[in-house]
């Protein structure tokens, strides 16, 4: 089974951010991801990750206001200087944290100009550090109206057009289910492009149990494909994080350790 990461932006939110690394380790996760960790000193994050022995799987490019502002600028025409500045900021942080992936946020845009801007910005970003893995992620229009990248076939075509070895697909099963109604089919169709996987329940984006997504089938498909990347828990717990971690112990075949 691939390694399991905890999204520290969404999980263990009753704790100070730097304490969430250790909480995730004790709960049974093997790594972490963070959405927009730009308000905390990089040295603080690095020390917390090292102390807990938790590798960083992924960070996002910056968003000016996570609670309701833009989600990136990579596909927004005439915003290339802002995108480049933000990407270099993300690249610096990823190097400090040794983050495996940087998720490049497309932002809200539409049309041919947006497509051309996205291609140009992705091509530029991929060239900045060929050893840094980059991802793009389709996001459903219910949760993020107007987001440019909202279809997995669209994402695959963009990846083919850019043709960069260090650029791949971020597959979020929740978004795949919301977009198509068949997360498993999306996974099977786009396995060759997938670099990072995220999971959550659907509907509701809570714990990845029950609901519309057949996670045993998802995990079995990943195993058959030899996927050896991260599977990250990116969901909003129904309550405190620990009481809802039964899915984690079931998935690993062991009882998750309690957080003290």
Mean pLDDT of 114-127: 98
Mark whether 22 is an active-site residue: no
pLDDT of residue 193: 98
In sequence order, what are the residues at sequence separation of 6 or more whose Cβ sits closer than 8 angstroms to the Cβ of residue 186?
152, 171, 176, 179, 180
Q: Is the pLDDT of residue 93 over 80?
A: yes
Q: Is the pLDDT of residue 2 over 90?
A: no
Contact 28, 248 (CB under 8 A): yes
pLDDT of residue 1: 59
Q: Is the pLDDT of residue 259 over 90?
A: no
pLDDT of residue 194: 98
Mark whether 137 is an active-site residue: yes
φ, ψ dihedrals at 59, nearest 5°? -130, 160
- At residue 76's C-alpha, the angle toward residues 125 and 34, to 5°, is 60
Q: Is the pLDDT of residue 258 over 50?
A: no
- Kindly report the length of the chain: 260
DSSP code per residue over the chain: --EEEEETTTSSTTS-GGGHHHHHHHHT-SEEEES---SS-HHHHHHHHHHHT--EEEEEPP-S-TTTS--B-TTSTT-HHHHHHHHHHHHHHHHHHT-SEEE--B-B--SHHHHHHHHHHHHHHHHH-TTSEEEE----TTTSTTBS---HHHHHHHHHHH--TTEEEEEEHHHHHHHHS-HHHHHHHHGGGEEEEEE--TTTS-SSSSTT--HHHHHHHHHHHT--SEEEE----SSSTGGGTHHHHHHHTSPPPPP-
Of 115 and 68, more confident: 115
Alpha carbons 68 and 195: distance in angstroms, whole number = 27
Could you say which of 22, 33, 207, 234 is catalytic? 234
Q: Provide the Cα torsion 198, 202, 204, 210; round to 10°.
A: -110
Of 148 and 255, more confident: 148
pLDDT of residue 100: 98
Please compute Rg for the chain using Cα positions.
17
Of 260 and 156, more confident: 156
Q: Any idea which residue has 């279809």 for tokens?
A: 151
Could you say which of 137, 160, 185, 207 is catalytic? 137
pTM of the prediction? 0.94
Q: Is the pLDDT of residue 255 over 50?
A: no
Q: Provide the Cα torsion 219, 223, 228, 232; round to 10°.
A: 0
């Amino acid at each position: 089974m691939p390694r399991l990461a905890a999204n520290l932006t969404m999980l263990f939110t009753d704790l100070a951010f730097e304490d969430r690394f250790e909480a995730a380790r004790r709960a049974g996760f093997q790594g972490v991801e963070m959405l927009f960790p730009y308000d905390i000193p990089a040295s603080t994050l690095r020390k917390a990750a090292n102390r807990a022995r938790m590798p960083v799987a992924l960070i996002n490019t910056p968003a000016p206001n996570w609670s309701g502002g833009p989600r990136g600028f990579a596909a927004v025409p005439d915003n290339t200087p802002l995108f480049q500045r933000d990407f270099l900021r993300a690249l610096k942080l990823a190097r400090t944290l040794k983050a495996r992936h940087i998720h490049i946020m497309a932002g809200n845009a539409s049309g041919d100009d947006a497509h051309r801007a996205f291609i140009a910005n992705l091509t530029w970003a991929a060239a900045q550090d060929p050893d840094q893995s980059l991802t793009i992620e389709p996001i459903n229009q219910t949760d993020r109206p107007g987001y440019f990248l909202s279809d997995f076939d669209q994402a695959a075509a963009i990846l083919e057009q850019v043709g960069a070895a260090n650029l791949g697909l971020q597959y979020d099963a929740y978004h795949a289910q919301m977009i198509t109604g068949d997360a498993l089919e999306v996974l099977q169709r786009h396995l060759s492009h997938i670099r990072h996987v995220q999971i959550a329940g659907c509907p509701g984006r809570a714990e990845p149990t029950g609901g519309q997504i057949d996670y045993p089938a998802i995990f079995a498909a990943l195993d058959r494909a030899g996927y050896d990347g991260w599977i990250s828990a990116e969901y909003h717990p129904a309550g405190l994080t620990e009481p809802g971690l039964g899915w984690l112990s079931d998935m690993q075949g062991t009882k998750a350790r309690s957080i003290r």
